[in-house]
């Protein structure tokens, strides 16, 4: 099953793309709630290149790595990747006033679909706030 979430970012495409693909930015926006943070991130933005981010509860009680490999990149438009046996895609759709960022990914089996959707949506909402503060 595929899940899609999206957000609209009032910023130029170049800023949106950069914030999505730059490790220092990723560490600032990649969290679903205030009690979590991303402590490490790396990006090798090329087909076959790897990415990883380390998300941890701020109280130190739990953490996990989100990692994968880029499978297709169309600069300013699309990033496709594989993480484990799942796939994901990030689309960057521009209009006159904003960039719509749409993330589509294979659902996992450990958590309910709605919980996954809410978590990924919260991360995208943080992303939009982060980029718009950079203006």
Residue-level pLDDT at 35: 94
> How confident is the model over 77-88, as a mean pLDDT?
97
- What mean pLDDT is reported for the chain? 96
> pLDDT tens across 8-22, in order?
999 999 999 999 999
Residue 135 has pLDDT above 80, yes or no: no
Q: What is the DSSP annotation of the chain?
A: -EEEEEEEE-S-HHHHHHHHH-HHHHHHH--SSTTEEEEEEEE--STT-EEEEEEEETTSS-EEEEEEEEEEEETTTEEEEEETTEEEEEEEEE-SS-EEEEEEEEPPSSS-HHHHHHHHHHHHHHHHHHHHHT-
Q: How many domains does the chain have?
A: 1
Residue-level pLDDT at 120: 95
Residue 21: CATH number of its domain: 3.30.530.20
> How confident is the model over 39-63, as a mean pLDDT?
96
- pTM metric for this prediction: 0.94
Query: To the nearest whole percent, how much of the chain has pLDDT over 70?
Result: 100
Q: What is the span of the domain harbouring residue 77?
A: 2-133
Residue-level pLDDT at 96: 86
Residue 54 has pLDDT above 90, yes or no: yes
Q: How confident is the model at residue 134 (pLDDT cuts 50, 70, 90)?
A: confident
């Amino acid at each position: 099953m595929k899940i899609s979430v999206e957000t609209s970012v009032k910023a130029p495409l170049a800023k949106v793309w950069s914030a999505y693909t730059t490790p220092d930015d990723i560490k600032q926006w990649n969290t679903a709630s205030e009690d979590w943070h991303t402590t490490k991130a790396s990006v090798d933005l090329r087909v076959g290149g790897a990415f990883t981010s380390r998300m941890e509860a701020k109280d130190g009680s739990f953490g996990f790595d989100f990692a994968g490999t880029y499978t297709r990149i169309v600069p300013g438009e699309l990033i496709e990747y594989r993480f484990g046996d799942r796939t994901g895609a990030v689309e960057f759709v521009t209009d006159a006033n904003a960039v719509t960022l749409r993330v589509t990914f294979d659902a996992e089996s450990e958590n309910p679909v709605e919980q996954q959707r809410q978590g990924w949506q919260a991360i995208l909402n943080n992303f939009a706030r982060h980029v718009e503060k950079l203006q």
